A = this chain, B = another copy of it.
Amino acid sequence: MPHVEEHLKSSDFITDVVIGMSDGLTVPFALAAGMSSAIADTGIITTAGIAEIIAGSIAMGLGGFLAGKTEQEHYASELKREYREVEEVPETEKEEIKEIFAAYGLSASSQTLIVEELSKDKDKWVEFMMRYELGLEEPHANRATRSALTIGLSYVVGGIIPLLPYFFTHSAANGLKVSASVTILCLFVFGFFKAKVTGQPLLSGALKVTITGALAAAAAYLVAHWISG
C-alpha cells in the first residue's frame, strides 16, 4: 500500500514534534508538581525543571541519534553477511526461502519455483532475505538522526510549558495551580494529535496521554510531600 507509506512519510516531522512535545509535557510537569509539595521557592523549582529538560532532551535526542546509527550499522553488516552467504552457501539460503513458504502451506514444487526465480537476481534475492527472513527494512540514512533530534527539541518546547507559570509567581502553590490547568489541557490537545498522527483512536489516545501525565504528577506530588513531611 504505497499511498499509506507516502502519507506516513509526509507527516514524519509532525509525528516527531507531537511525540516529543507530549512526552516533554509529562515529566517536567510531574517533577515541578512533586517539588511544589515540598519546596515553596519557585526559583528552585524552575532550576530543577530546566535541569530536567536539558537532561531529558539530551538523553532522548542523543540516545535516539546513537540508536539510529546503531540500526544503520546493524543493517549494513547484516546486508554484507547476506551477500556473502548467497555467494558462499547458496543452497542453504535457498533452503531458508523454501522454509518461509513451507510454513504457509505452499507445495514443494512451488517452493522450488519461487527459489529458482528469486535467485536469478542476486540483489533482489538478498533484498528478499533481508526483509522476509530477517525482518529488516533499510533504515532511511538520515531519518533516525533527524527524528531523534526533532523529538529531543520538541521535548524542550513541551517541557517549558508546565514550567512557565512558576517563573511568574513566588508561590509554588499558585504556580502548580496554573501549571496543572495549562498542562492537562495541553496534554489532552497533544495527546489528540499524537493519536491522530500515529493512527490511534483519537479520544482514547488523548486520554491515555492526559492520564499518564496526571498520574505521574499526582504520584510525584504525594511521594515528595510524604518524604519531605
Question: Which A residues form the contact surface with B (CB < 8 A)?
Answer: 1, 23, 26-27, 29-31, 33-35, 38-39, 43-44, 47-48, 50-52, 54-56, 58-59, 62-63, 66, 70, 73-74, 101, 104-107, 110, 113-114, 117-118, 120-121, 124, 127-128, 132-135, 137, 199-201, 205, 208, 211-213, 215-217, 219-220, 223-224, 227-228
Decide: A212 near B38, CB < 8 A? Known: A105-B118, A107-B117, A118-B106.
Answer: no
Bound: A227/B167 CA distance, A: 12
Say yes or no: B70 contacts A55, CB within 8 Å: no
Bound: A219/B105 CA distance, A: 57
Decide: A219 near B58, CB < 8 A? Known: A70-B200, A106-B114.
Answer: yes
25 contacting pairs across A/B (C-beta < 8 A): A1-B134, A23-B59, A26-B59, A27-B27, A29-B55, A30-B51, A30-B54, A31-B48, A34-B50, A34-B55, A35-B51, A48-B48, A51-B223, A55-B217, A55-B220, A62-B212, A66-B208, A70-B205, A73-B201, A74-B199, A106-B117, A107-B117, A110-B113, A110-B117, A132-B132
User: CB-CB < 8 A to A135: which residues of B?
Assistant: 137
Say yes or no: A66 contacts B212, CB within 8 Å: yes
In the assembly, how many copies of this chain are there?
A: 2
Bound: A223/B73 CA distance, A: 33
Bound: A97/B41 CA distance, A: 64
**Which 8 pairs between the two chains have the least Cβ-Cβ distance?**
A34-B51, A30-B55, A58-B216, A51-B220, A66-B208, A48-B48, A55-B216, A54-B220
Say yes or no: B39 contacts A58, CB within 8 Å: no
Bound: A208/B43 CA distance, A: 33
Decide: A212 near B30, CB < 8 A? Known: A70-B200, A106-B114, A223-B50.
Answer: no
User: CB-CB < 8 A to A201: which residues of B?
Assistant: 73
Bound: A33/B50 CA distance, A: 12
Bound: A34/B27 CA distance, A: 16
User: CB-CB < 8 A to A35: which residues of B?
Assistant: 47-48, 51
